[in-house]
Structure 1
Amino acid sequence: MLAFVAHRFHDLAIRAISDTQRIIHIEKIEYMYTVEEQDLASQLAAIQHQLPQEESMLVHLGRHACTFVPLPQPQSKEIEFGILSHDIHIGVEQIASDFFQHDIPGEPELDHAINCIEDELMRNLVLKSAGRKLISADQLHAAIFNVTDGVAEFSREQVEALFTRYAWLSMGRASATDNLPTGKHAYAALLILREMLHHLDYQTLLIVAD
C-alpha cells in the first residue's frame, strides 16, 4: 500500500470496504466540476432556514481562498457588509492547478497537496470546532456527496471513508461499481474538507443543497 495511505488513513481503507454502512454510494455525474464564487450574504439568506440552531461554522471553498463564517452571526452594525468571516489561503483552483497534473491525481500529487493544506490550517487553529458542526452549502460539495435537496449530515468517519475510496481510485484499485465524481476540482474540494475536519477537529459535517 502506498505511503500516504499507510500514514494518513490509519487502517480506514480496510474499514471503508468492510463497513458498508459507512460507504457513501454516489451515482456517476457527467458534467465537469467547477468552483463557483458565491456572495456570502446571498448564500446565507438562501440557506438560513436550513441551518441548525446551535453554534456552527459555515465554510465556503472559493477558487483561491476558503471563507469561514461563524453562525449565528454577532449582532453588530460595525461588521463590514454585515458578515463576520475569516479567510485562509487555500482554494480549490489553487490546489488543483498547483499540485494536480492529472484529473485523477497520483500519490505524490495528493501527498504534496495535503502538506500544503495542513500547513495553512495549522496557522489558523483559531478556527477549531469548539464543539461546532462544519457546514458547506457549496454546489461542488453537494455533487460529491450526492446531496440534491435539503440538508444531509455526515460523520468525520464517513467523510474519511469516502476520501479513502478516492485514494484507492488514485492507486488504480477502485471497484468496477465505484462511480465517483472525479476531476481535479472534485479531488481538491474533498481533500480540503477532509483536512479541515481532522486538523480543526470537526466531528460532524452538514451539506446543504440548493
Structure 2
Amino acid sequence: MLLASKPLKTIFVLDFGSHRFHDLGIRAMIYTTRPRHPHKMKPMYTVEEQNLDTQLAAIQHRLPQNESVLVHLGRNSTTFVPLPQPQSKEIEFGILSHDIHIGVEQLANDYFQHDIPGEPELDHAINCIEDELMRNLVLTSGGRKLISADKLHAALFDVDKGMAEFSREQVEQLFTRYAWLSMGRATTTDNLQTSKQAYAALLILREIMHHLDYRQVLIVAD
C-alpha cells in the first residue's frame, strides 16, 4: 500500500531558505530581459502520450526488485504505479495505478505564455501542483524510490541510454538553473532544454519529490 501513516508536514529546505520559486533568496537579482544567447540552448520536443502498459512492459525487467513507484507523465494527468504490482484475484486485467490531475500539456497551456516562463508563471504553476499533491498525500513515498521512464525527464537529465539515479538535491540544483534562466540570468554555458513542456515536467517531478518525500529518482532511458 502507498498509504502514509500521517500527512507529510516537513518540506525539504535548501540554503536559499525555501523551495518556492518566489521565496528564493536570489529574487532580488531578477532581470527583466530574456537570455542573451537563446541559440545556445537545446530545443525540446512536446510531450508524447506514451502508452503506460507498453512502457511498463519494456522497462520492468530493468527495475530494482525492491518496492518503488513509477511516475508516468501524461498530457493532462500524472500516473503513479506501485512496483512490483500487488497480486490480487480482484485485479484481473490492467495496471493498478493512481492518477492526479496535473499533466504536462495542461500546465504548459494553462500557466505558461512563453517557452521560458517568467517568475509569476512558475509561481502559479507551483501552487497548482502543490494543491493537487496535498489532496493526494496517500501517495507519500514511505521510503520507496521514485522511477521515471518518460522521455521528457530523460532529456532534462541528459540520460541517453541505460539509467541514472538523481537525489532530491540534484533535482533542485537543476531547477535552480531553470530559475536563473527564467530570471534572464542564464549564461552561454547553460545548455538547457527549453520549452514550456520541459519546465512543466521538471516542476512536476520537483514538487513530487518535495511534498511526497521522495529522496531519489531513477531515470530510465529507452
Decide: shared fold, TM above 0.5.
Answer: yes
Q: Structure 1 residues 81, 39: closer, same or farther in 2, change over 3 A?
A: farther
Partner of 2:139: 127
Alignment of 1:186-205 (within 5 A): 186-205=198-217
Identity, in percent, stands at: 77
* CA–CA separation in structure 2 for the residues paired with 1:109 and 1:198: 20
Q: State the shift of 1:80 in Å.
A: 5.8
AA in 1 matched with 2:168: R
Q: Structure 1 residues 12, 59: closer, same or farther in 2, change over 3 A?
A: farther
Q: State the shift of 1:29 in Å.
A: 3.4
Q: Structure 1 residues 12, 129: closer, same or farther in 2, change over 3 A?
A: farther
1:85 equivalent in alignment to 2:105: no
Alignment of 1:15-26 (within 5 A): none
AA in 2 matched with 1:112: H
Q: Are the aligned partners of 2:67 and 2:145 in contact in 1 as well (CA < 8 Å)?
A: yes
1:182 equivalent in alignment to 2:170: no
Q: Are the aligned partners of 2:168 and 2:215 in contact in 1 as well (CA < 8 Å)?
A: yes
Structure with bigger helix share is 1
Partner of 2:33: none
Normalising by structure 2, we get a TM-score of: 0.82
Please point out which of 103, 112, 127 is paired with 1:100. 112
Q: State the shift of 1:176 in Å.
A: 1.5
In the TM superposition, structure 1's runs of 4+ consecutive aligned residues that sit over 3 Å from their partners are 9-13, 27-30
Partner of 1:18: none
Please point out which of 5, 17, 38 is paired with 2:50. 38
Q: Which has the larger radius of gyration?
A: 2
Total equivalences in the alignment: 192
Partner of 1:114: 126
Q: Structure 1 residues 98, 80: closer, same or farther in 2, change over 3 A?
A: farther
1:53 equivalent in alignment to 2:72: no
Please point out which of 153, 157, 162 is paired with 2:165. 153
Q: Are the aligned partners of 1:35 and 1:92 in contact in 2 as well (CA < 8 Å)?
A: yes
User: SS in structure 2 opposite 1:81?
Assistant: coil
User: SS in structure 2 opposite 1:8?
Assistant: coil
Q: State the shift of 1:208 in Å.
A: 0.3
* CA–CA separation in structure 2 for the residues paired with 1:62 and 1:78: 26
User: What 5-or-longer segments of structure 1 have no aligned partner?
Assistant: 14-26
Task: Please give the root-mean-square deviation of Cα atoms over the aligned residues, in Å.
Answer: 1.9
